[in-house]
Amino acid sequence: MESIRAAALQFSVRPMKIGDNLDLAYSWIAKCHEQSKPSLIVLPESFTTGFTPSCTRGELWDAVDAIPGKLTDVAIGWAREFGAIICFPSYERGACKNVVYNSAALVSPDGLLGVYRKTHPFPTERIEGGGWTTPGQESFCVKTPLGAIGIVICYDGDFPELARATALKGAEIICRPSAFLRTYEQWELTNRARAYDNHIYWIAPNAVGIDHSGANFFGSSMIVHPSGKILALAGGCDEYIVADLDSEPVKSIYPGSSRLQVFDHIEDRNIKSYNGVLSPGKSRFEPSKRVPYKR
């Protein structure tokens, strides 16, 4: 990959006010571009509508669009105006009525590079849990002029297997647009661990403000180095963060250290020891409620 500057944006959205949220996102991208000129910009999860829809699943399906479509056309226009690649999360209208994906498109000045559909919707987000989202089925990584970029979305980042599958596709940067509502410790832990696990840059914008459900998002967007070091960290307000990503980040074991790195978590795997890792299972400890997938 090239040495680049990346940005993560966080701002309070208005539930189901798509036009207003697009205007807000544009204003923050413009401000970020004017002051920092990033080559890669990552927006928060489902920012066009907010995370929890204030409508039925069918009404959400009507309100959003397919990808490619009118929303990603807007994103491509932004990418051309600001000369950047943009990770643009939005609910996506599926081919069948009431099928809605929690998606993130990757766009460049040349057009749509690809779309990732969240493979691990949070249990209460899934239809089985009374929610609105249909899971995607594929990990995502695409080669770009900046480097190979993968995407996971929010709860996806809790699953080491998905980040590893994305890294095995060649990802050098993984974007994690989020509307994370649990604890800061879990947010920080999973972001830093997935970066370190896979020797990749990890860009994780999180929502701020009040969700339609009444929950408060805490922000704390972060950009993490492949060593696990946090390169940039936001607070709990509307803001953006930027960090410069070096093209050779793992020559030493930590940024600024003279100690050379002589290990590779990808190459050093003892694959024969992983028998059963993809077998169905569940925790031996019981959560308060289980929401199994429909198989």
Write the pLDDT tens digit of every residue in 103-124: 999 999 999 999 999 999 999 9
Give the per-residue pLDDT at 112: 98
Average pLDDT over residues 28-56: 97
pLDDT surpassing 90 at residue 234: yes
pLDDT surpassing 90 at residue 295: no
pLDDT surpassing 90 at residue 154: yes
Q: Are strands 230-233 and 239-245 parallel, antiparallel or unpaired?
A: unpaired
pLDDT surpassing 90 at residue 294: no
Average pLDDT over residues 269-292: 95
Between CA 62 and CA 8 the distance in angstroms is 29
pLDDT surpassing 90 at residue 42: yes
Give the per-residue pLDDT at 76: 98
pLDDT surpassing 80 at residue 77: yes
pLDDT class of 87 with cuts at 50, 70, 90: very high
Average pLDDT over residues 9-37: 98
What is the chain's mean pLDDT, rounded? 97
- Can you tell me whether residue 237 is helix, strand or coil? coil
Between CA 139 and CA 23 the distance in angstroms is 30
- Total-model pTM: 0.97
Topology of the domain comprising 4-274: Nitrilase/N-carbamoyl-D-aminoacid amidohydrolase (3.60.110)
Question: What is the secondary structure of 10-58 as a DSSP string?
Answer: E-BPPTT-HHHHHHHHHHHHHHHHHHH--SEEEPPTTTTT-SS-SS-HH
Cα–Cα distances (Å) from 195 to 27, 28, 159, 175, 203, in that order, read 29, 26, 12, 10, 9
Average pLDDT over residues 219-246: 98
Give domain limits for the chain: 4-274
